[in-house]
Amino acid sequence: MESMFNYRPALAGKIAVITGATSGIGLATAVLLAHHGARIIAVGRDANRCRNAEEDIRASCPEARISFLLADFASQKQVRRLAAEIRSLDLPCLDILVNNAGVYSQKKVLTEDGIEKTFAVNHLAPFILTHELLPLLVRSSNGRVITVSSDSHYHLTLNPRVLDNPAFYLGILAYGQSKLANILFTAEFNRRNSKSFVHAYAVDPGLVKTDIALKDQPLISRLIWKIRSSAGVDPLVPARTILYLATDPSIQHSPENYWHDQCPKKASHQANDPALSRELWDTSSRLCGFPGREQES
């Protein structure tokens, strides 16, 4: 693990927002970026877990410049309030936004906004947060938006018009579609912001040993994930790819949207469908109350 901290891109003076920084990949990313000198605004949904995560990060990196903010991504109001809190910090700019927070839900749950929770947390929350923080990102000399997707997007398609409240719900399908949405969002973001210095990347972290499908899930789902994830890599492995995407100058205007282990990876045919990414963008804008052509530079 020592070698991961030895990879030394220049992060001193850079400012990063990392969502879902209380556990798993987000926590590992916060540790890694802190070791490289970034100022980190970490986001969690639970005050105790934020405190524990901050202690863990400081134990690993006593000089860490980190503070936690709270927001439940199942609530659009809370995502907007979070963005307002970040803007009120009077930052000169935002260099790195890591959209990592994610959920798996075996059961269909509707949020307070009346939207299916997996879609709301995994896609609409990063969609809103990125939009709300774009004015800060464009002030960076090379702003980067990194969204943690997954290979579970393969062999799936989605219908943007019914994603907010699908008549048929299967946890694994909703999760895979939300991860497909992450790549479609990344592609459309890059198309709309092609003239700016902000670039987006979607990451496949691989199979990672985390607790994602152990939280609030039925026993059978927990057992399956316990066995499956035991073959996964340490969260620091995808954190290193996130660090690479956040910093490497050679990929500033890369036409590649999907990445794994610091290399581009071929996403599914659907993930590369520009008409689908446009339709998803327009539907997401409507569901979040944005005018149709937001985030275009």
**Contact set with ligand NAP (CB under 6 A):** 20, 22-26, 44-46, 49, 72-74, 100-103, 121, 148, 150, 205, 207-208, 210-212, 215, 232, 235
Q: In DSSP terms, which residues pair with 97 in a beta bridge? A: 17, 145
- Both tokens of residue 153? 């997007």
Q: Which residues contact 84 (CB under 8 A, 6 or more apart)?
A: 132
Smallest distance from ligand NAP to CB 98, Å = 10
Smallest distance from ligand NAP to CB 253, Å = 25
Pairing mode, if any, of strands 39-44 and 65-70?
parallel
Tell me the C-alpha to C-alpha distance, in Å, between residue 67 and each of 58, 70, 126, 161, 224. 11, 10, 20, 38, 35
DSSP 120-136: IIIIIHHHHHHHHHHHH
Q: In DSSP terms, which residues pair with 99 in a beta bridge? A: 147
Nearest to ligand NAP of 178, 285 (CB atom):
178
Residue that the structure tokens 């500033």 belong to: 252
Nearest to ligand NAP of 20, 143 (CB atom):
20
Catalytic residue among 104, 154, 169, 175: 175
Nearest to ligand NAP of 51, 253 (CB atom):
51
- Both tokens of residue 204? 């496949």
Smallest distance from ligand NAP to CB 12, Å = 26
Give the span between the Cα atoms of 74 and 88, in whole angstroms.
22
Task: Indicate if 175 belongs to the active site.
Answer: yes
Smallest distance from ligand NAP to CB 212, Å = 3
Tell me the C-alpha to C-alpha distance, in Å, between residue 159 and each of 21, 156, 164, 167, 279. 30, 10, 10, 12, 9
Smallest distance from ligand NAP to CB 101, Å = 4
Give the span between the Cα atoms of 203 and 182, in whole angstroms.
9
Give the span between the Cα atoms of 40 and 64, in whole angstroms.
8
> Catalytic amino acids?
175
